[in-house]
Amino acid sequence: MATYSLANERLRALEDIEREIGAILQNAGTVILELSKEKSNERLLDRQAAAFTASVQHVEAELSAQIRYLTQPPCAIMDSHSRKK
């Protein structure tokens, strides 16, 4: 039963990453749209650029954690789960 909850937890984490990637694309789109204007709003660009950077860093960290988990030997994964309880 714990295996299913662990798998669901991993899937939820990947879904969160997917949503964050959607937010990254929206931020990038907003910046591109704003840059296409003759007179762009610098504050909006700064906010969107900061949000973009923070989101990319978060996605990178989460994906790295997922990759580290997937590259662990099976005995290390089982040991790490037994310590969480």
DSSP secondary structure letter of residue 72: S
pLDDT tens digits for 32-79? 999 999 998 999 999 988 999 999 999 999 999 999 988 887 775 565
Q: Which of 5, 7, 66, 56 is nearest to 27 (CA)?
A: 56
Q: Token pair for residue 58? A: 């978060």
- The answer to whether 27 touches 52, Cβ cutoff 8 Å, is yes
Domains of the chain: 1-71 (1.20.58)
For 20, residues 6+ apart whose C-beta sits below 8 A from its C-beta are 55, 58, 59, 62
Model pTM?
A: 0.72
pLDDT tens digits for 7-29? 888 899 999 999 999 999 998 99
- For residue 60, what pLDDT is reported? 97
Q: Which of 72, 13, 14 is nearest to 80 (CA)?
A: 72
pLDDT band at 81 (very low <50, low <70, confident <90, very high): low
pLDDT reading at 82 higher than 70: no
